[in-house]
Structure formats: C-alpha cells, structure tokens
Copies of this chain bind each other. A is one copy, B any other.
C-alpha cells in the first residue's frame, strides 16, 4: 500500500500561528481570461478592453478580479479543507494589486483560530490567507473558517480559540489601484451613465437576465481554478451522495451573479472587498440563476473626489426572476429560491 497520496490535515494537526505555504503556484494568462469570458460573458469594460484600461491609467488591463479570487482561494483546499465537514464562512476579503496576464500568484496561510466542537469529533479552523504576485505584492487577503474532522476522536484538541472577526471591511482599508485616474472614464463605452452619486442607500436593482448552468461549464470553471473538491466532478460517487448529483462550486455562482449585475451596475468597475458571503442553498446543473442587488452603503473614497465605493448585497436566486427581490421570508428564513447572499464593496466613479 502506497502512502503517496495527500491525506490532508485533520483538526488535531493544526496549531495556532502555524504557517502554511500552499502548493501549485499559478501563472494566470490571457488564456484564462478568455475561458473565463466564455464561462460568464462579463461586460465590465476595464477587464474587457486594453484601451479602456489604459485610459484609466493601467499599463495593461487587469484580469477580472473574481478570476484571481477563485484561483488563489482554491490553493488553501489541500492543506486546510480536504477533511472539512463544512465551509463555514469567509470574511475580510480585500483585493490588493490587480492581477495582469502573466502574473504568477502564490497563497500562504496562518492559523488564527482553533475551537474544538463539543462532540470532540471535529473543530473549527480559522485561517488568514494572503495571495501575492511574483513581486511579492498582495493581490488578495482573506479569512475563512472551516469545520474539520479529527483523525482520532481521542486526540487532544490543539490549544486555541475563535478569533474576533470584523463584520465588514471599512472603506479606509480598500485598495485603489495605483495610478488610477478617472478624468477620461468613458460612460458610453462602459455601458451606463449611472455613477456613484446616482445610487441611493436602500436602492434595489433587479439585474433582469438569467443564465442556466450546464455540468460542463461549472466543471470547466472549477478545474480552471485547480479546485479539486470531488463533489463538483464525480457523478459516480455523487450519485450515491446526499443530492444524487454533482454540486456546483459556490464561486461559480458568485461569478455568474457579478456578470449579471452589469445590467444596473456597469460602472462598478472593480470589486474592492468582500465582507462576507453565504451560499444559502446548493445549486446544480440545470438551475437558472437570476440576481438582484441592494445598495447597503455608499462612501466616498478618502482623498479622492472622483471615486466612491458602493457596499452591495447581491442576491442570486435559482429559477426565480428577481423583480420581487427575493431575500427572506416572514419568519426570517431565507427565501427558498435564494442561493447566494454576497456582501461586498465595488469602486465606482463619481
């Protein structure tokens, strides 16, 4: 019997302050951007056109920030969540230097919290992860927490506690891409005349369109990110599982919802932070995803008269058009059609 396959870490293997260097650095290219375009069809002009990016002060167009998010996020899986029972949440996700075609990203993590469950069979592991490019610049940092089973229920739990988690990234923590200038921002080419000051806190926007998920699409997306969680790929084993079918990677829904949100938020040209997200219900091939957004907050960016940040809640729903803004039912539970509840900041010209 070989011992060469990766067994992953179990709860008792983690230590507070432990540093994890994750495998499989990844060079992201124009090719990845094209596959991503084929999967989501995003129309935000900054990532679509080099000329638009140059007019905003970028030497080269940044790749879609969610493509980067998915690629670096997945790196933590083999060390952190291979033995996970549940992905419980993520928070304080801040986007740093834009990723350009040709950049190579690495991810490292630090264990910042450990709390055994009362049943002694598992525990919650909190990690702060940082992804950097080949120049060592931070491109993404975030906290996630995961419930991980123990290898041996009798093993003593590692010392530790749950960390204090911020409810949202504050505006002063948002990164503005270096050299960004908005004098030449072309609202016609961007696809909408609505800018920061046109949005009101509390405003709700139905993004109108819907898109149906195919098995090969979510599987191609998830492989592109080198995410290897078995539930997304293996129909043979999943046919005997809880749902009888393959589960769509939650990040796939985030990217669909972002692409749909162009219709109503076309000038929200860059996601600056994700405050938190909840994959409220599973999605499967055949589901049609619709989305709507609510403006939760609107803050000018300090020391810039030309730029603001909208805090948005974007809700994705399946097989349910969003003209009625589905969210919670009277009893406070999630509306049955809702599959994603994402809280994030986008940058928008004023």
Number of interface residues of A (CB under 8 A): 85
Residues of B within 8 A of A51 (CB): 25, 27, 104, 106, 134
Is A48 positioned at the interface, with any CB of B under 8 Å from its CB?
Answer: yes
Binary B-proximity of A16-48 (CB < 8 A = 1, otherwise 0): 000001011111011111110111111101001
Identical chains in the assembly: 3
Residues of B within 8 A of A246 (CB): 212
Is A306 positioned at the interface, with any CB of B under 8 Å from its CB?
Answer: no
- A6 is contacted by which of B29, B203, B263, B319 (Cβ under 8 Å)? B263
Q: List 20 A-B contacts (CB under 8 A).
A: A1-B204, A2-B206, A4-B198, A21-B188, A23-B188, A27-B48, A27-B51, A27-B61, A31-B35, A31-B37, A34-B224, A38-B221, A41-B223, A50-B102, A51-B134, A212-B233, A214-B216, A236-B288, A236-B321, A237-B288
Cross-chain contact A38 with B223 (CB below 8 angstroms): yes
Complex: A205 Cα to B290 Cα, angstroms: 44
Cross-chain contact B189 with A106 (CB below 8 angstroms): yes
- The A contact surface, by secondary structure, is mixed
Is A192 positioned at the interface, with any CB of B under 8 Å from its CB?
Answer: yes
- Max chain B Cβ within 10 angstroms of own Cβ: one of A24, A52, A199, A204: A24
Complex: A221 Cα to B209 Cα, angstroms: 18
Cross-chain contact A38 with B41 (CB below 8 angstroms): no
Is A334 positioned at the interface, with any CB of B under 8 Å from its CB?
Answer: no
Residues of B within 8 A of A170 (CB): none
Binary B-proximity of A216-249 (CB < 8 A = 1, otherwise 0): 1101111110111010011111000000001000
Q: How far is the CB of A59 from chain B (nearest CB, A)?
A: 13
